Structure 1
Amino acid sequence: MTTLRHSFIRRAWAAGLLLSLALVAGCATTANSPSLFVLDSSPGTADAAPQPGAPTLMVAPVSTASYLDQGGLVYQTGPHKVVIANDNRWASSLSGQLTDDLYATLDQRLGGINVVRANSHQHDVYQLQTHVDQFLGHYDGNAHIAGRWTLIGPNGDTLAARAFTRRVPLKTDGYPALVSSLSSGWHAIGRDMAPALAQTIKSRGSGS
């Protein structure tokens, strides 16, 4: 009976959370400006000076599933249904925010490796490609993040590829709590990437 009661309470809480999100999404009228959100900044440091002779990792722009690229925050209301909020939106490109945060996290954690942003003038560098399939609120009361990263060598060969997934509980109802949990989960994914990237790159030298 205790297990059933706890299960009922958890489901009721998740249902209440979804109702709160839906009400927030629907209460704004066309006369009101949408609420805009940004991810929490990664606790990174200022761009470090290049280290001569160290290998270089270029962080390519993070790509996302098309339904995540519509501007609105996304939440899943059932096994096969997602809702894109019209009045609760990202203040700037989600892809850009994910890229900036990932760059800051890796720049802080990859000592002995030059971490740079993508540009057309980089040669003989390692490249990190990241794709995000899920970045949303879920009816189970968690923020869900899932995707895959690939490390490309200076010669264009694939050196490593890993899937990632993370669920972060929402501390309270509403979109601010959802954005906070998504931010926390994305920071953690960046931290988890760092050791595997460092091991693979350093084992192969500078790649020059």
Structure 2
Amino acid sequence: MTAPRSSLCRLAAAAGLGVSLVVLAGCATTQSSPSLFVLDAGASAPDTTPQPGAPTLMIAPVATASYLDQGGIVYQTGPHKVVIANDNRWASSLSGQLTDDLYITLDRRLPGVNVVRTSSNRQGLYQLQTRVDQFLGHYDGKAHIAGHWTLVGPKGETLAGRAFEKTVPLPADGYPALVNSLSSGWQDIARGIGPTLAGAMNSAPKS
């Protein structure tokens, strides 16, 4: 950081914005080339053979609020202001990464269900529709995630749905720590969805 920027950071910290936010906001434009980040879902889902007679759950692409879909990592600097980083960006579509991680996590958590990403024939399938409205760093020093999901039955009927909201403290300053907390929080949300999905599919009327 230059001396003026360093002074500004100290003033912002004294104003109560928090060290993590200062590092994110104050240093966002000092890099010569963008840093690219990916979410961590752990090991890839194993290749599984379809289980005859088991229900099939299709993970629809996760929808995101438009401000989250600009490529840059988002952080909230005040009650009514969010900033999209130009030099710290998602390596690929955030929607695609969220969808892949959701698929991997649920494939592990639903052993009696055939979990698929997409299907050309949606007849007889259950479908998980998910929307993420918050996926960002926050001036309180935490990662914030919020949205909702809906389970749609084979006949297009809504079987279950629930809003989700989670905050995860940042273990350190900077974007790597923010991405780590966002990854951890998203996996926790996906793991929490699993039992409700299984219960709703098991109790749904069989055609």
Q: Could you tell me the TM-score, scaled by structure 1's length?
A: 0.89
1:43 & 1:170 partners in 2: Cα distance? 23
2:181 & 2:15 partners in 1: Cα distance? 20
What's 1:155 paired with? 155
What's 2:191 paired with? 191
The structural deviation recorded for 1:11 is 8.3
Q: How does 1:1-208 map to 2 (within 5 A)?
A: 14-28=17-31, 32-43=32-43, 45-204=45-204, 207=206
In structure 1, the gaps of 5 or more residues are 1-9
Instruction: Tell whether the 8 Å contact from 1:44 to 1:108 is kept in structure 2 after alignment.
Output: no
The structural deviation recorded for 1:167 is 0.3
In structure 2, the gaps of 5 or more residues are 1-12
Instruction: Tell whether the 8 Å contact from 1:17 to 1:173 is kept in structure 2 after alignment.
Output: yes
Partner-residue secondary structure (3-state), 2:47: coil
Q: Residue type matched to 2:100 in 1?
A: D
Q: Residue type matched to 1:102 in 2?
A: L
Q: Higher mean Cα deviation, 179-188 or 111-120? A: 111-120
Instruction: Tell whether the 8 Å contact from 2:106 to 2:115 is kept in structure 1 after alignment.
Output: yes
Q: Residue type matched to 1:177 in 2?
A: A
1:139 & 1:193 partners in 2: Cα distance? 28
Instruction: Tell whether the 8 Å contact from 2:56 to 2:113 is kept in structure 1 after alignment.
Output: yes
2:91 & 2:195 partners in 1: Cα distance? 31
Deviations 1:151-170 (A, max 9, x none): 00000011111000000000
Identical aligned residues as a percent: 67
Partner-residue secondary structure (3-state), 1:26: coil
The structural deviation recorded for 1:204 is 2.2
Instruction: Tell whether the 8 Å contact from 1:42 to 1:187 is kept in structure 2 after alignment.
Output: no
1:198 & 1:47 partners in 2: Cα distance? 20
Partner-residue secondary structure (3-state), 1:192: helix
Deviations 1:53-91 (A, max 9, x none): 001100000000000000000000000000000000000
Deviations 1:151-202 (A, max 9, x none): 0000001111100000000001000000000000000000000000000001
Instruction: Tell whether the 8 Å contact from 2:41 to 2:105 is kept in structure 1 after alignment.
Output: no
What's 1:3 paired with? none
Judged with a 3 Å threshold, the aligned counterparts in structure 2 of structure 1 residues 109 and 87 are, in CA distance, closer, same or farther, namely same
Instruction: Tell whether the 8 Å contact from 2:102 to 2:190 is kept in structure 1 after alignment.
Output: yes
The structural deviation recorded for 1:49 is 1.0
Q: Residue type matched to 2:172 in 1?
A: T
The structural deviation recorded for 1:12 is 6.9
Q: Could you tell me the TM-score, scaled by structure 2's length?
A: 0.89
Instruction: Tell whether the 8 Å contact from 1:125 to 1:153 is kept in structure 2 after alignment.
Output: yes
Deviations 1:105-137 (A, max 9, x none): 000000211101113223210000000000000
The structural deviation recorded for 1:47 is 2.8
Instruction: Tell whether the 8 Å contact from 1:25 to 1:85 is kept in structure 2 after alignment.
Output: yes
CA RMSD of aligned residues (A): 1.7
Q: Residue type matched to 2:104 in 1?
A: A
Question: How many positions carry a matched residue from both structures?
Answer: 195
